[in-house]
Amino acid sequence: MILIYPEKLSSVTADTSDGSFPATYLENDKPKRYWKSSGSNVGVLTATVAANSDQMALFYTNAESAAVDVLVGAVSQETFSIDLTDPHSHNRFWQSYTAQSVIHTIEITLTAPAGEAVYAGVLKVGLGVDLVNPAYGIGESRRDFSIVKELNNGAYYIRKKDPVRTFSVSFLEDRATDFYKFTQVADYYGPKPVAILVAEGIDDLEWCIFGHILNPFSASHAYLNHSTISYTITEAV
C-alpha cells in the first residue's frame, strides 16, 4: 500500500485546453471538475515537481493509454507506457518512478478514443509512504448518490448518478515506525481526499483510489510490537 505524502506538484500545464476546462483544474481535489482538451483526443500534460518525489497518480480520465516521461531539464530519466484498458477499462492510473533529488518535470501524453476530447480530473504527484498491503478480506462496496423520490401516484422520480467505490481495509504494521507514518498522513489529510494505492502488485489500476477517509481510522495494539489499523476510504467526486 502506498499513500502520496507529502504532495510535490508545483504546477501543471497542457498543450491544449478548452477555455472552460483549464489545466489548473488538475490541481484541485474535485475529479469531475476536470481539464479537457480543445477537441483533440490527444493531450500532453507537463507537471513541474519539487525534489524528492517518486509517485504519480491520475484520476477520472477518458484516456485509453498514457505515455509518461520523467525529465530533469531536457534529459529523460525514465519512460513508461500505460494501458488503461487491459484487463479492464479504468479511468485512472498509478505510476511509481525513481525518486529525483532535484526539481523535475513529468510529461504525460494521454490518448482518448478517436472523436473524443481527452480529459482528466486530478493529478497527484509526491513522495510515497510505502506500507504493507492490507490483510486478505478487503471489503469493497458502492455508494450510490442517485436521487430516488416516490411520487404521489406510486411512480418514482429517478436521477441516476455514477456510484463511487468504497473500500474497508485492515493491515498489521510495525508500531515503532510505520504505524506512526500512517497516523501522520491520516492526521494531515483528515477528511480531505488522499491518493492511495490500496494494494500493490495485484492490479494497480484497479486498486488506486483518490478518496476520503471520512471516519477516523481505528487501531488495535494487541501485539507487543505491531498494531492492526483499520479504515474506510470513499472515492472523491
Residues 83 and 161 both lie in one domain:
no
CA distance 34 to 158: 26
**DSSP line for 207-223:** HEEEEE--SPPEEE--S
Residues 114 and 151 both lie in one domain:
no
| Domain harbouring 61, CATH code | 2.60.120.260
Strands of 101-207, DSSP E: 104-111, 119-130, 139-143, 147-150, 156-159, 164-174, 194-197
Residues 52 and 20 both lie in one domain:
yes
The answer to whether residue 83 is domain-embedded is yes
Number of domains making up the chain: 2
The answer to whether residue 133 is domain-embedded is no
Residue in the structure block whose three cell numbers are 491518493: 195
Domain span including residue 154:
139-235
Residue in the structure block whose three cell numbers are 477518458: 62
One digit per residue, the tens of pLDDT, for the chain of length 237 reads: 999 999 999 999 999 999 999 999 999 999 999 999 999 999 999 999 999 999 999 999 999 999 999 999 999 999 999 999 988 999 999 999 999 999 999 999 999 999 999 999 999 999 999 999 999 989 999 999 899 999 999 999 999 988 999 999 999 999 999 999 999 999 999 999 999 999 998 888 989 999 999 888 999 998 999 999 999 999 999
Which of these three, 127, 159, 178, is where a domain ends? Answer: 127
The answer to whether residue 28 is domain-embedded is yes
